[in-house]
Structure 1
C-alpha cells in the first residue's frame, strides 16, 4: 500500500528561485527525467519481450508522472547550497560507476535540473538538510559547483523513508539487491513492516523474500558483488540456496577475496561467483607419509578445515590402533605446546 505525501511550503528563510519556467511548460511537453538513465537489465527471452517492454514503459511513465506531480504542483522550489545537504540516514544505493556519474552530470549541465530533490531540515542540526530522494541530482550539482533545486519539507523518519522508497520504486531504479538491502536496513532500524511495504510498494510475501536474501547472504559477499543490475530475485535466491552449504559459502568467501575479483564490473562479478559456485569441489589428493625406515604407514589429506589421517594396515599393521590409543596423550602435549 503506497502512501500519498502532502508537501507543505518550506521555511521562509530559504533562498527561492523563479518557478515560472516549470509553470509555463505544458504537461504534454514537460521533460520526464524520472524515466531516464535507468540501469540496463538483461534482456528477456524473445517470447513476450515486446509485451513486457511496453508494459514496463507504461508503468514507469504512470509512476513517474505521479511523483512529478507531487513535487511540482503547488510547491515552492528553492535553491540550496549543496554543502548544507547530507545523505539519507538509511542509504539505499550501492556503488555507481564513474561513467554513470558522468552521464548524469552531463545531463544536468546540458539540460538543467528539471525535477527538484526533496529534503528535510535535519532534526539534530536544523541549519542543515537531509535528502529524502535525489541523491544523484545532488551529487551532480555538487560536482558541477552549482546550487541544487529542492523542495524543503519537515518529515518524520517514517515519512522520509517512504518518500525515498516510493520515488525509487516509481522509477524502477534500484536493483533487486539494493531494494533488499534497503528493506533489511529499515527493519534493522525498527521500522514497522507496514512502513517498509509502503516505502517499497510490495506485499508481505515479497518483503519477506527481500529481507531474507539481504540478511542470509553474508554482507561481505553482497558488498563484493555490488548492485548487479542484470540479475533479479530468482538469481539471487539461487545464490542464497547454494550458500546454505557451509563448504560452498567458504568457497564463495575465498572467491570474492581474490585480488582481481574487484577489477570486474558488478554484473561480471555476479557471473564469476555463480559460475565458480557451480564448479564441483576439487577433490583433495592424499599425501603419503613415510617413516624414516621408508615404510609408507599413513596418508594425509586436507579438505577445507579438515585434516584426515588414513593408516594402511597392510604396510604397518596395528599402527593406526597404536596412534588411536595415544590420542589423549598427544592432545595434552599439543595443548601444552600451544600455551
Structure 2
C-alpha cells in the first residue's frame, strides 16, 4: 500500500500543468516562456540556456548599434552633403515625384550618414541625397542609419548605392571617378565604389580628360548617352576648340533643351561646324634631357633625339615595365 501511494505521489499533476499552459504566453522582450519541468536539473539547464540566449541577443543588438544598423530620425538641417559630389544636377521633376511619394507613403528607405568629422552634432551623408532633399522640402525629419565610416568606406558606400539604383548617368559616374582620383583615392577604392574593372575605369577617366569639364557641365548628365558616344565626342574634340560650343550650349535657347538634346547639339557642332580648329600642340622640351613631349587631351608622345643620345630610347624602353609598376604602386598607396 505504501508502494502504491509512493507511485501516486510521483505521478505528474496534469491539472496543474494545464493551468500553467493556459497562462498568458505573450512574448516578453522577444522571448517565449519555456515549458516548466519538475526536475531541478532541467530547470537549471533551461535557465542557463535563457541567460545565454539573452546575452547573445544583447551582443547582437550591441553589434547592430555599433555598425549603425538602427534607424533614427534626424533634422535634415543637421546633415551636410558628401565631400565628393556625384551629381551634375537634380531633376526637379523627379525630385517633385519623390516628394509626393514620401508625402503619401512615408520614407521607405533610410539614408546613410556618418557623424561629421569636423562639426560636432552634425552629420555627413554617404548616400540618399535626393531623399534628404525631399524630406527637407516636406519639413519633416529624415530616417537615417548613422554609422562610423572612414573616407574610403563613405565613398565606396556612396558609389555602390548609386550603382545599385542605376540613377547616375555615365558621365556623372566618370566625374565621380575623376574627383576621387583627384582626392588621392587609390584605383582599388575607385573601382570598388563604381563596381567597374580597370579597363572600364580607364575609359571613364579618358572621357573626363578629353571632354573639358566646362563642356560636360554645359551638357549636363545626359542620362541616355553612354560610354561610346562620350568617347566619340572626346576624340572629335582633339582638333576642335570647345569654348565656342560651351558658349552656345549656355545660351538661353539651349538651356531649355534636355540634357540629352544638348549632348546631341554639341556633337552636331563638333561634326558640322567646328568654330576654330586647335593649332597642333607644340612639342615641349624637357630640361636637361634630349627628349621632347607632345601632349593632347587623350595621349602624350615622347620624341627621342637619337643624334644627341644614341640608344637612350632603347634604354628607357627596357625600363618601362619597372616604371609602370612603380607608378601603379604609388596609385594604390
Figure out how many residues of one structure are paired with residues of the other and give that number.
215
Deviations 1:85-135 (A, max 9, x none): 011000101112221110111111111111110000010112100000000
What corresponds to 2:149 in structure 1? 155
Give SS of 2:82's match. coil
C-alpha separation between the residues in 2 aligned to 1:98 and 1:257? 19
What corresponds to 2:14 in structure 1? none
Change in 2 beyond 3 A, CA 1:217/1:79: same
Deviations 1:170-192 (A, max 9, x none): 11111000000000000000000
Deviations 1:139-178 (A, max 9, x none): 0000000000000011110100000000111111110000
Shift of 1:274: 1.1
Deviations 1:215-260 (A, max 9, x none): 321111000000000110011111001101134x355334324342
Task: State yes or no: 1:239 paired with 2:238.
Answer: no
Residue of structure 2 aligned with 1:207, choices 190, 196, 201: 201
Residue of structure 1 aligned with 2:166, choices 168, 172, 175: 172
Give SS of 2:114's match. strand
Shift of 1:211: 1.2
Change in 2 beyond 3 A, CA 1:274/1:150: same
Determine if contact 1:175/1:228 at 8 Å carries over to the other structure.
Answer: yes
Residue of structure 2 aligned with 1:274, choices 260, 264, 267: 267
Radius of gyration: which is bigger? 2
Residue of structure 2 aligned with 1:264, choices 251, 257, 264: 257
TM-score (norm 1): 0.60
What corresponds to 1:30 in structure 2? none
Give runs of aligned pairs for residues 139-154 of structure 1, distance below 5 A.
Answer: 139-154=133-148
Which one has more relative contact order, counting CA pairs under 8 Å at least 6 apart? Answer: 1
Change in 2 beyond 3 A, CA 1:160/1:281: closer
Unaligned runs of 5+ in 2: 1-63, 280-333
Unaligned runs of 5+ in 1: 1-69, 283-302, 307-339
CA RMSD of aligned residues (A): 2.3
C-alpha separation between the residues in 1 aligned to 2:157 and 2:68? 18
Give SS of 2:143's match. strand
Determine if contact 2:68/2:145 at 8 Å carries over to the other structure.
Answer: no
Determine if contact 2:111/2:145 at 8 Å carries over to the other structure.
Answer: yes
Give SS of 1:95's match. coil
Determine if contact 2:169/2:222 at 8 Å carries over to the other structure.
Answer: yes
What corresponds to 2:248 in structure 1? 255
What corresponds to 1:185 in structure 2? 179
Residue of structure 2 aligned with 1:79, choices 58, 73, 88: 73
Deviations 1:261-299 (A, max 9, x none): 2121111111111122221458xxxxxxxxxxxxxxxxx
Determine if contact 1:251/1:277 at 8 Å carries over to the other structure.
Answer: no
Task: State yes or no: 1:227 paired with 2:221.
Answer: yes
Change in 2 beyond 3 A, CA 1:74/1:158: closer
TM-score (norm 2): 0.61
Give SS of 2:191's match. helix
Give SS of 2:149's match. coil
Determine if contact 2:75/2:141 at 8 Å carries over to the other structure.
Answer: yes
What corresponds to 1:115 in structure 2? 109
Name the structure where helix makes up a greater proportion of residues.
2
C-alpha separation between the residues in 1 aligned to 2:231 and 2:182? 21
